[in-house]
Amino acid sequence: MGIPLSISSDLDLELEDIIGQCVAILGIRGSGKSNTAGVIFEELLRNNYPLSIIDIDGEYFGLKEKYEVLVVGRGEGVEIEVDETCAEEIAQISMEKNVPVVVDLSGFLSDERTAFLQEYLGALWNLAGKLRHPYIIGIEEAHEFIPQGVKTELKELIARVALRGRKRGLGAIVISQRSAKVDKDVLSQAGMLFLHRVVHEVDMRVYSELLPWRKAETKEIITALSTGECVYLNGDNVIPIYVRERETFHAGFTPSLEVVVTPELKQVSQAIIEAIEHAKQGKGKKTRIDQLEEQLAHLESEAMKKDETIARLEGIARTLGYIKIEVPQPSYPDVQNISKAIVHSVEHPGSASGRSPAPSRAVGTVATKVAPPAAPLGVIDIEPSTAPTEADDPMVLPDAVIRHIERIVKRVSRKSILHRRILSFVVGHAPLAYSVDQIAAWTNCARGVIDNDPPRDFLEMGLLVRERRSGKMHYHSNLKEYVAREFGLFQPDLGISDLHRIMRHLQARLVLLGEEQ
Ligand SMILES: Nc1ncnc2c1ncn2[C@@H]1O[C@H](COP(=O)(O)OP(=O)(O)OP(=O)(O)O)[C@@H](O)[C@H]1O
Ligand SMILES: [Mg+2]
């Protein structure tokens, strides 16, 4: 046999039934929700059950008429004005010393409310995890803190208490006049409901989902409820009840012409008040100097973080600079001379003295691998060379042709640097064909990189040709043919010498594009 609670003569309820419960009290304005909640709180206080009431309208300080309750916050019946800075201490006093607390939020601005509740409920949750003894939190106008469809940090905290508090002995009593606006997950977890009168269709729908009756029945029964009456719902137990009137002063009573006198209120022990005053002085309102010092410390730490970021970025920049220096670009003038030496050595095998400077050891290696010059395929016979002369000046060409040259250069410039380097080397050393090994050596790229990422764009454009010679892949310039094709449209206005000029000019431009990053 448990400890009976005197809530309604129609209802047998015991204190044990409340432990770890999520209780919902719903109904329209003036239907008697706060009275019902007040009656439950009275019964809990009578049995020394520890609790906190989150009181948005300053309705519950009247409990002090009979019980020792600490009222904090900002409002009419408040004993100690506090803000979020000492919320944690109050939660600790309440839970550890078994002191019932009413948190009067009626004088707080909405962000102050949120700040206080986050600290307070967060602290209660953590303490409940350690202490694991029964404790209940009542929340008035719960739809403001656990609105359906909106995600806030505070809502998550309250929902956590409602959904997962049981294992910590933590219960919740959520009170709301907007049934449809309260988070559905929390409502669905409520094991005990006091459903007062509602009239709006949306609220009635919520009731219909909760109650086992047909819709029309639900509507009929619920709309017939008068003040103080409600449907009590707990599992299979569904009964209409009348909740007794509060014994203690109900500051949220509906005003009448009768004179209401606020009764004598009980005070919590002086030691508790002093403990909170002490916490307030330590962490309470900060002086302007404190605030500025805090701001300064914050700015200093921000500046320090920024300095660290700058140092880190400088390090990265240095590393990048180092890499850039360490990767030598091919020296094209040298390449041209060496190429001529190669051509010369191919044309005059056995000749020791060439027109070009003597090739280096690396050049010698390449020279031995050079394939025979590619067979001429073009429609125009042009002597390839990379050094443009005055005769190659494109300015003498028609505007349309110059524009087309620029389009081609632009298109090439958008391709990857690896491909541009390959193009630059092969076009700059036309008409010979070069193996991938040779190109790799001259462009300073690993052979595998070229194998994996061949210059497909330029093969497709027709600037380069790839063919297998002696079992090895070779590339050679196709610029002559490319120019003939691309600029063939402009004939007969363009003569052979013009095509030649275009080719020389393009060749020089493409060689340069291999040097740009
Ligand atoms: N069981 C009851 N017996 C007698 N009077 C009651 C009962 N319940 C509520 N009342 C009275 O009805 C009025 C409204 O009650 P209460 O403040 O509890 O309603 P409420 O649903 O909380 O309203 P609100 O949504 O405006 O907060 C009060 O004056 C209260 O004293
Ligand atoms: Mg109320």
- Ligand 2 centre from 29 Cα, in Å? 7
Q: Both tokens of residue 395?
A: 């300015």
Q: What is the mean pLDDT of residues 421-440?
A: 92
Residues 141 and 163: beta-carbon distance below 8 Å: no
Can you name the residues that pair with 192 across neighbouring β-strands? Answer: 23
* 30 CB within 6 A, ligand 1: yes
Answer yes or no: are the C-beta atoms of 454 and 418 closer than 8 Å.
no
Residue 385 has pLDDT above 60, yes or no: no
Task: Select the more confidently predicted residue: 75 or 336.
Answer: 75
Residue with the smallest CA separation from ligand 1 atom 3 is 245
Ligand 1 centroid, distance to 228 Cα (angstroms): 7
Buried b (16+ CB within 10 A) or exposed e, 472-504: ebbbbbbbbbbbbebbeebeeebeeebbbbbbb
pLDDT of residue 354: 39
- Per-residue pLDDT for 93 more than 90? yes
- Residues 171, 15 contacting (CB under 8 angstroms): no
- CA nearest neighbour of 157 among 190, 192, 210, 115: 115
pLDDT in tens, 174-191: 999 999 999 999 999 899
Q: Which domains does the chain have, with CATH numbers?
A: 14-248 (3.40.50.300), 359-513 (1.10.10.10)
Count Cβ atoms within 10 A of the Cβ of residue 402 and give its class: 0-12 exposed, 13-18 middle, 19 or more buried: middle
Q: What is the mean pLDDT of residues 438-447?
A: 90
Assess whether the C-beta atom of 50 lies below 6 angstroms from ligand 1.
no
Residue 31 CA, ligand 1 centroid: distance in Å? 6
Band (pLDDT 50/70/90 cuts) for residue 379 is very low
Q: Which atom of ligand 1 is nearest to the CA of 140?
A: 27
Pocket test for ligand 1, best of 34, 225, 226, 232 (most atoms within 8 A of CB): 34
- Compute the average pLDDT of residues 7-24: 95
CA distance 332 to 511: 8
Q: 456 and 423 in contact (C-beta within 8 Å)? A: no
pLDDT band per the 50, 70, 90 thresholds, residue 367: very low
**Could you tell me the distance, in angstroms and rounded to a whole number, from the CA of residue 513 to the centre of ligand 1?**
85
Two tokens, residue 402: 């110059």
Question: Residue of the nearest CA to atom 28 in ligand 1?
Answer: 253
Paired residues of 466 in beta bridges: 475
Q: How many CB atoms lie within 10 A of CB 172?
A: 28
- Token pair, residue 258, equals 């009768």
Upper half-sphere CA count for residue 198 (Cβ side, 13 Å): 22
pLDDT at 32 over 60: yes
Residue of the nearest CA to atom 1 in ligand 1?
A: 228
DSSP 214: -
> Whose structure tokens read 């409940």?
128
Amino acid 326: pLDDT: 43
- 206 CA → ligand 1 middle, Å: 22
Give me the pLDDT at residue 439, please: 93
Candidate ranges 51-55, 311-315, 392-396; pick with highest mean pLDDT: 51-55
Tell whether ligand 1 has an atom less than 6 A from the beta carbon of residue 74: no
For residues 356-370, average pLDDT = 34
Residue 353 has pLDDT above 50, yes or no: no
**Computed from CA positions of residues 77, 245, 47, 18, in that sequence, does the dihedral angle turn out positive or negative?**
negative
Regarding the beta carbon of 247 and ligand 1, being less than 6 Å apart is answered no
The answer to whether 87 touches 114, Cβ cutoff 8 Å, is no
Which uninterrupted H or E stretch holds 237?
strand 237-242
- 242/35 Cα distance (integer angstroms): 11
Quick check: CB of 176 below 6 Å from ligand 1?
no
Ligand 2 centroid to residue 286 C-alpha, Å: 35
Which residue would you say has higher pLDDT here, 329 or 429? 429
Q: What pTM did the predictor assign?
A: 0.58
With bands split at pLDDT 50, 70 and 90, how would you rate the model's confidence at 254? low
Residue 288 is encoded by which pair of tokens?
A: 């302007």
Lowest mean pLDDT among 249-258, 268-277, 294-303, 308-317: 249-258
**Residue with CA at minimum distance from ligand 1 atom 26:** 29
Measured by CA distance, the residue closest to atom 14 of ligand 1 is 30
Ligand 1 pocket member 29 (CB < 6 A): yes
What whole-number distance in Å separates Cα of residue 276 and Cα of residue 160?
27
Average pLDDT, the chain: 84
Residue of 226, 222, 256, 219 whose CA lies nearest to 243 = 226
Percent of residues in the chain assigned helix, strand, coil, to nearest 5: 50, 15, 35
